[in-house]
Amino acid sequence: MMSPFIRHVAIRNYKSIAACRLNLGPLTFLVGPNGAGKSNFLDALRFVADALRSSLDHALRDRGTIKEVRRRSGGHPNHFALRFGFELPNGQTGHYAFRVGAKPAGAYEVQDEECFIHALDALGPSHYFRVQSGKLVESSVTPMPAVIADRLYLVSASGIPEFRPVYDALSSIEVYNLNPREIAAMQRPDPGDLLRRDGSNAASVLHQLSPNVREAIRDNLSRIVPGIADAEAKTLGSQETIEFRQIVRGQPHPWRFLAGAMSDGTLRAFGILLAVFQAASSRAGNNPPLLIGLEEPEVALHPAAAGVLLSALREGARHCQIIVTSHSPDLLDNPDIPIDSLLAVENHEGLTCIGPIDEASKQMLRDHLFTPGELLRQRQLSPDREALEDISDERQLKLFNIVGR
């Protein structure tokens, strides 16, 4: 598997998440019941990409207002904050963090924002900037663009070559909630660099993939949906769609069906494989995804396909970091799933608790007494309480620490 792009995540007051500090691997499973808050964690990752690709205002409005994003509680927190520890494809490491605070009448401001990129070697320079309350307080590069209080400064700093790789990497993050109807519909052609969240440009993305990646998608799809022989992009006039080839009993050659004639389960499986393998193509765009999130990819799939799906996720994680939310024991019924790839999610009185699984469960997995799926069936996958207690306030989360470097 590839080295993970996002190595560490810290979140404060984002939706139902009061605080979390997590290590992420190439393939990570967020496991817990419906309503626990798994999707809120993935949405925090998507939030930074949305805010960079469009604007902070758009990212907030797409989720309602800042009141809907910052956590609600009796203490009335007036801000939310995110921090990402990263490793770029060139091997450089660093972190990016920001805090957004609420103002009267639904307004907001970026209270703190910082980016730090470590030098590749002892002789090379490190690069950084720090913004506080609308002012650039320190930077390794001069001159730097002006600060706009209601914008993330990394957008402006992306015009500086030193910070562009961080912007490109974070803005490529995508979290998929694939819609079979969008995949089935006729689609307008586009560059196909990144599969959209709902799959509405699936034909363009498939068309851009290299032959070996299309073959990997076909092979996995035929194992998940027996009878499917192939899938390829097809142009009809000014629009595109997917054409599937399906083996029909008694017929010498596979029959051809457009996406609109296929079942939701088939289209969803195809969309998941397309999302997972898109970064593996040598024809991928200039900004291929370094991290994708998949919300419950096992939904609408037969339990017998869970093993094939897990294999596809592992193969895809060789090219792109993958984070999966799941409450499916079938997907986790494999003794070879690394213990460190499991994060347990629970909800206590409206608060989402996310952390590595408790030590008792880890020991049972180490001793091969159960698979993760079997522990999930027995409701024995819970966050480690000691790890949760270690992040009770923002100083312990270490969201901002550029000073002193």
Provide the residue-wise pLDDT of the chain in tens; the chain has 405 residues: 678 999 999 999 999 999 999 999 999 999 998 889 999 999 999 999 999 999 999 999 999 989 889 887 665 678 999 999 999 999 999 999 999 999 888 889 999 999 999 988 877 889 999 999 889 999 999 999 999 877 899 999 999 999 999 999 999 999 999 999 999 999 999 988 889 999 999 999 999 999 999 999 999 999 999 999 999 999 999 999 999 999 988 888 999 999 999 999 999 999 999 999 998 875 544 567 999 999 999 988 888 899 999 999 999 999 999 999 999 999 999 988 999 999 999 998 889 999 999 999 999 999 989 999 999 999 889 998 877 766 665 566 778 876 444
**Can you read off the two tokens belonging to residue 340?**
């460190």
Please answer whether residues 232 and 204 qualify as being in contact, where contact means their C-beta atoms are separated by less than 8 angstroms: no
Please answer whether residues 386 and 358 qualify as being in contact, where contact means their C-beta atoms are separated by less than 8 angstroms: no
- For position 394, what pLDDT does the model report? 58
- For position 1, what pLDDT does the model report? 64
- For position 286, what pLDDT does the model report? 52
CA distance 48 to 15: 14
- For position 349, what pLDDT does the model report? 84
Residue 233 one-letter amino acid = A
- For position 75, what pLDDT does the model report? 58
Per the rule left: phi > 0, alpha: psi between -120 and 50, beta: everything else, 302 is beta
**DSSP reduced 3-state for 127:** strand
pTM of the model: 0.93
- For position 120, what pLDDT does the model report? 87
CA distance 273 to 267: 10
CA distance 227 to 21: 44
CA distance 303 to 224: 10
